[in-house]
Every structure is written in C-alpha cells, then in structure tokens.
Structure 1
Amino acid sequence: MIQEFISSWPLFQNTYLVGWSIALLLSLVGVLAVARDQIFIGAAMSQASTLGIALAMWIGAWIAPATLPWFHSDEFLSAMAVAFSLGAALITGGWAATDRESHEAITGWVFLGSASLSILIVSHSPHGLEEIHRLLASSIIGATRTDVWGFSALAGLTALFLAVTHRRTLLFLMDPAMAAAVGMHTGGWAAIISALLGLAIGLSIRSSGMLYTFGCLVLPALIAKNVCREVGPMFLVAPLVAVLTGAIAFVLANHYDYPPAQMTVALLSLALTIAWLFRRLRQANGMF
C-alpha cells in the first residue's frame, strides 16, 4: 500500500501537497471558529465562495468580451471566491452584531441564499453547472505547483501570525470582555479573525471544493477541543490531526481508488467520534 502511494507520487505530488497544505491552513483558522462557537459560519463562507465562483463564470461567459481575458482566468475565479467569502464574514460578523437578528439567523440566510443563487446563476450553462457540482462534491485533483507554493506560504504565514499574537489571540477567544478591559480593540480582532477565515476559505474552495474545505476547517478543531483541556494546545493538536489524517487518507484513497477529499473527511469524522467517546469516558472517570 505504501509502495503504491510512493509510486503515484510523481503523478499526483501537487495534489497531495496542496491537500495537506490546505488541511494545515484550515485547521489553524478552524480553531478560531470553533473556539468562538461559530462553526456554521464556516459553512456559510464556503457556500458564499461558491456563489462568487458562479458569478465570476457568469460574468466571463455573458458579459466580459474575449478581449478581456483576465475575466476568464482562474485568478478571477479565485478573487471572486475570496471577495464573497470575506463579504460573508463581514455580514455574519458585523451585521449580526449590530442588528436584532441572531448570528444563527444571519448565517443561515447567507448559507441558503448563496446555495440557491449559485445554482440559479449557472443553471443555463452546462460547463458552469458542472463546475459548481464539482465544487460541492469536492475534488483536489489537478492542483498545480503554483497552488503548492501559494497554500504552503499562506499556511506558514498564518502559523507565524498565531505564534506572534498567541497570548492576545487566546485572551480574545476565551474572554472578549477581559480583552476589552485591558485595552484590546475587540472589534479589530474580530475583523482580523473574519478576514483570516474568509481568505483561507475563499482560496481553498477553488482548489479543494466545499466538502474538503468545511471538513478540514471544523473537524480537526472539534477533535482538538474534545482532547485538549484548554484552547492553547488546540493550535498544535488540530494541525497535527489534520495533516496525519490527510496523509493516511491519501494513502488509503490511492490504494482503494477512492476520492481523496471524501476519504479525508470520512476519517476525520471517525476520529471525531472517537474523540467524543474519549471525552465521555474521561468525564465518567472524573478526569475532566
């Protein structure tokens, strides 16, 4: 099995490296969402990114002439995905905080509106509809060397930022009121976290699809939450779980000829089930 995986490396190395880099990136920012109990916001951002891609494809097909090639490029699709993901972050974070509606209501509105509109926009374009279905199903086959360097750099910069701001980040996540009392601009920190989530999700959705993106965002962080006693160690456990599970999943997917994205999310779901059982056992024994 391992030998088969090694033999496939020259052909699929970009796919493997991008998949692991995305898992590392999303597991880091996923801790921020899980620690603030904003898991469903990740799903809303993922769906909003899909809407951005659908709108970009519609613009390229029906509005932008052939003399404007940038509107038909992958860069434009990625830019629209990031823009709509950031927009969803601002709406679910800012609007819900100042309006009478709850975070859950605004987030649900963003998710459902984006899900329906993304299909309607490309419903008369067979290629566009196929692309949206691919994003919803998740596929990381076809990644490029540029994707490898881009996601590796973004994961590294995110890890560096969290390491430098570790204490302030933990204080904001654990006790926003205390953070404000000691002089931290909590509104600014909320915007930074929303921007990190929006950027990571918006870029990842184009390469890995919604299932893999949302799965790597929340499942490793939830596993870490059930294993760790404090938020701080979650920033180490979640990436470790994401990368190790991704490596095992890719080996199994290659051997049994299964989609690697779906295999990864399935194994992470199994690991979360085990983590839940571990926590219940620990509570029953008075260890937690």
Structure 2
Amino acid sequence: MSGFDFMIVVPAFLAGLLVLATHIPLGAQVLKRGIVFIDLAIAQIAALGVIIAGVGELDPHGWAVQGAAAVAAGLGALLLTWTEKRWPEVQEAQIGVMFILAATAGLLLVAHNPHGGEHLQDLLAGQILWVSYDQLLLPAIGAAVILAVLWIFRGRLSRLGFYLVFALAVTMSVQLVGVYLVFASLIVPGLAVRHYGDRLRLPLAYLTGVGGYAAGLVLSTIYDLPSGALIVWCVTLLAIAVYAAGPKRNKF
C-alpha cells in the first residue's frame, strides 16, 4: 500500500474509532433492552433529516445539516420513548414501522433529484474512506460528552435519557460511516462477546470492532472495494471467530 493510500486510511480509521467508542457500550444496552433495530430506525431518521436539509439546498458539510439530522433523530427518540411507554409489548414492531417510514420518506423526497440515488447510497453505505480530519472535530467532542454521560450514569439512564443519548450518537456517526456501519458497530461486537465474563466483554468487543475496521479499510484500499461494505464483513467475520473462541453456553 502506498503512502498516499495510508494517508487516506488514517482519518477513516480515526472516524471508525470515534464511532466504536460510543457504539460499543450503547450496543450492549440495546441488546440488554431487546430493541435491536432501534439503531437502524434512529439512523434512518437522522439520514432523513440530512435529506430534508439537502432538499433545502443547505451546505452538506455545514452545521445546519448537522442540526437537521440531530433534530430529526431527537424527535424520533421522543416518539420512541412515548411508544415504549404506551405500547411496550410491541415496541420492536413500532421501531420497524418508524424505520420503513423514514426510509420511504427519503425515497419520495429525492425522487425527482437526478443525484438522489447516489445521495441515498452514500447515506446507507457511507463514504468513510473519504472522511477528512476537519469532519472529525464535532464527532470527537460528541463522543467525549456521550462517554462522560454513560460513565456518570453507568446504566441508570432513564428511558428518555437513553433514547436521546442514542440519537445524538447515531446522528454524528451516520454521516461519517453510513447506516450499515452504524448497525454493524452497535450490534455485531456485542453479539460476539455475549458469553464472555463481565471483565472481558467490553475490551473484547472493542478489539473486535477495531480489528474489523482496520482490516476492512486496508483491504478496501488494496483491492479498490467499497469500504463500508467490506468493513461490515470484516467486523462480522472477526466477531464469529471471537465468539467461536469463547466459552460455550451450557445447553442444559
């Protein structure tokens, strides 16, 4: 790999580290609460906010777009809080409905845009390989705030507090790495380590995510393949190996 390629990979890898920093502990909470598809729903709603901002011809890299995504994700979090309180027995189904509504709303909004399909593809698969250092400042600040909140409350966040923190994390990450990598970063490492002891679970989850991002970025640069899709596969394959090497669950 050439030096030029290496310089491209560095900011992309840092972006992956920022995403993993918050998504690994949040993903553990998602698995514990049994609301696995909340990340897809909130990510898609944040992406819808970006699309709405694009329809308004706002600067795609400006603060207004970040604000639109944050407002959309926050409103989605408030709605999910209300639905979980009102109809908790069907919360997972309601999350699925919100996801499909946000996804189809995005399709309708870009239907007459000649570049709409490309924009949707970028939001789903991401463009992590082309992340710049300037784009990392706001996510770094946000990640520090989120980690501080998670450390202070240590699993004692209220339903509303959890959804709002989750919405903030997803709002920042979806524009860095795309919806697919948001889901993979949240869920796959947590699945890999679920049978490990408490002391090993979090470190191994981080190692799984970091290793998958590193391998995916390097391989995508060498073989000129889509980075986001390849990282998803690398994280998943590494997670399978970590799970297979771990303690076996007693079937009896």
TM-score between the two structures when normalised by the length of structure 1: 0.77
CA distance in 2, matches of 1:154, 1:278: 34
Q: Equivalent residue for 1:30? A: 27
Aligned to 2:17: 20
**Does structure 2 retain, via aligned residues, the 8 Å contact 1:28–1:235?**
yes
Structure 1 residue 100 displacement after superposition? 7.0
Q: Which residue of 2 aligns with 1:102?
A: 90
1:98-247 equivalent positions in 2, closer than 5 A:
98-99=86-87, 102-166=90-154, 169=155, 172=156, 189-226=158-195, 228-230=196-198, 233-247=200-214
Contact 1:5 1:255 in 2 (8 A): no
Give the drift of 1:235: 3.6
Q: Which residue of 1 aligns with 2:222?
A: 255
Q: Deviations over 1:25-44 (max 9, x none)?
A: 32232222122111111111
Aligned-pair identity (%):
21
CA distance in 1, matches of 2:130, 2:249: 45
What is the CA deviation profile of residues 60-102 of structure 1, one whole-angstrom value per residue up to 9, with x for unaligned ones? 2xxxxxxxxxx33422222222222222222223223223761
Aligned partner (choices 59, 67, 76) of residue 72 of structure 1: 59
- Secondary structure at 1:225's aligned position in 2? coil
Distance 1:283 1:95, change over 3 A: closer
- Superposed counterparts of 1:77-88, under 5 Å: 77-88=65-76
Unaligned runs of 5+ in 1: 61-70, 173-187
Distance 1:7 1:136 in 2: 26
Query: Structure 1 residue runs of 4+, over 4 Å off?
Result: none
Shift of 1:219: 1.0
After superposition, the C-alpha distances for 1:133-162 in whole angstroms (9 at most, x for unaligned) are 221232213322222233233333333333
Q: CA deviation at 1:113?
A: 0.5
Which of 274, 277, 288 matches 2:241?
274
Per-residue displacement from partner, 1:105-149 (whole Å, max 9, x unpaired)? 211110111111100111101123321122123221332222223
- With over 3 angstroms needed to count, the CA separation of the structure-2 counterparts of 1:30 and 1:5, relative to structure 1, is farther
